[in-house]
Homo-oligomer: A and B are copies of this chain.
Amino acid sequence: MIINNEKFRTIWPNDAKNLNAITVSIIDQTKLPHAFEIVEISNLQNMVNAIKTMQVRGAPLIGAAAAYGMALAMQKNTNEAHIQQSANALIQSRPTAVNLRWAVERMTKLLLLTAAESRLEASWLEASHICNEDVLLNQAIGQHGLTLIKSLHAKTPRQLNILTHCNAGWLATVDFGTALAPIYAAHEAGLDVHVWVDETRPRNQGASLTAWELAQHGVPHTVICDNAGGHLMQQGQVDMVIVGADRVTSTGDVCNKIGTYLKALAAFDNQVSFYAAVPSPTIDWTIHDGVQEIEIEERDGRELTWMSGVLANGELAEVNILPPNTQVANPAFDVTPARLVTGIITEHGVFTPNALKERK
């Protein structure tokens, strides 16, 4: 995707003649949209921290970052104990993200099958494969989603309003995005799409990331507070909801950023179709009841208390918006039951929750 007219991915290795000296660059997403900063990561611990502090975020990108984390770990030591320790450190950095575990397990499996002296090279290659595959998956998701948007447009030949929650755009992946991939594909295809961007408290990923990347790409969009979507749907101003997901169960329950469930309820109540767009590794075939079985990460209350932005003079700053010593709770995700989900858009096509169950 394009930033200031230059092509970028969200994560990339910096070429070095020596495999032991390769570093990995990421875009510091905690600074967006106010500053565009690239951070160079040179060891496992820094990658774990980048995942924990959400400098990289979004399920697919976390997977890619973890894969590169394993490669950085191999620079230190390629023995089995170190492989396992590194894998554990990465998996524990964000408990909800199933792609993270998937990527780490894929790396671990390959490394354990590879001779110790080839592990460093193999890890850089495999991490790069994971990234390239993500890009291809997302392009395929975009095309399947485009088919849905085209058929909606055939029925409703005017500007289409698509609501999205959080950021599942290219910033959440290696490139193209998941939930936004169909929107970018529709925009490229010349369809008139407009995006309602949920602010997405408490981390404001919609206001700060989705709005930013849509603007960079020239897609018309309007930011709304998380409270507004239901009203807009009641008033016929939303034609479709597309969100990403951190995990989808085998039965079609969608675990995504907190607040997604509320939008799905409103979509259902107003006969607006509700889709989650995910690469198939996001589907957790071991889980049947998302509400009962998925552990929901409780994140630092500071995310709610402090709000970052720019002062009128352009300086970055954080303000505390609560009375002193206020108790807060900050569950990071919720689960949308399959009964509210129209379909799951994957690289293999679009599946209703029932079709997903059968496919299992």
Give A271 Cβ to nearest chain B Cβ, in Å: 14
Q: Give the bracket for the number of chain A residues in contact with chain B.
A: 35 or more
User: A291 CA to B215 CA in the complex, in Å?
Assistant: 33
Does A3 belong to the interface (CB within 8 Å)?
A: no
Residue of B with least CB distance to A340: B269
Contacts of A122 in B (CB 8 A): none
Residue of B nearest to A314 (CB): B320
Stretch at the interface among A23-31, A110-118, A131-139, A217-225: A217-225
Say whether A208 contacts B319, CB under 8 Å: no
Question: Who on chain B is nearest to A166 by CB?
Answer: B227
For residue A94, give the distance in angstroms from its CB to the closest CB of chain B: 18
On chain B, the residues within 8 Å of A257 by CB distance are 227
Q: How far is the CA of A317 from the CA of B265 in the complex (A)?
A: 36
B207, B258, B327: the one within 8 Å of A222 (CB): B327
Q: A317: which B residues are within 8 A, CB to CB? A: 311, 317, 319
Stretch among A168-176, A243-251, A330-338 lining the B interface: A330-338
Q: Could you tell me the distance in whole angstroms from the C-beta of A93 to the nearest C-beta in chain B?
A: 22
Classify the secondary structure of A's interface with B: mixed
Task: For A301, give the chain B residue with the smallest CB separation.
Answer: B223
Q: Mark A278-306, 1 if CB is under 8 A from B, else 0.
A: 00000000000001000010000000101
Identical subunits present? 2
CB distance from A234 to the nearest CB of B (A): 6
Task: Find residues 194-215 in chain A having any chain B CB closer than 8 Å to their own CB.
Answer: 196, 199-202, 204, 207-208, 211-212, 215
Q: Write the nearest CB–CB distance from A163 to chain B, whole angstroms.
A: 11
Chain B residue at minimum C-beta to C-beta distance from A215:
B323
Contact residues in B for A201 (Cβ distance below 8 Å): 199, 201, 225-227
Q: Which chain B residues border A312 with CB–CB below 8 Å?
A: 318, 320
Please indicate the chain B residues that have their CB under 8 angstroms from the CB of A232 in the complex. Answer: 329, 331
Q: List 20 A-B contacts (CB under 8 A).
A: A199-B202, A200-B227, A201-B225, A211-B326, A223-B327, A223-B329, A224-B304, A224-B330, A225-B259, A225-B304, A225-B330, A227-B259, A227-B262, A229-B262, A230-B262, A230-B265, A232-B331, A234-B334, A309-B320, A311-B318
Please give 19 more A-B residue pairs, beta carbons under 8 A apart, in addition to A223-B329, A307-B309: A199-B201, A204-B321, A207-B321, A208-B323, A215-B323, A222-B329, A227-B259, A228-B259, A228-B331, A228-B334, A230-B262, A231-B261, A232-B329, A262-B262, A262-B266, A265-B265, A265-B266, A307-B319, A308-B321
Q: Which residues of A are in contact with B by a Cβ distance under 8 Å?
A: 33, 196, 199-202, 204, 207-208, 211-212, 215, 221-232, 234, 257-259, 261-263, 265-266, 269, 291, 296, 304, 306-312, 317-323, 325-331, 333-335
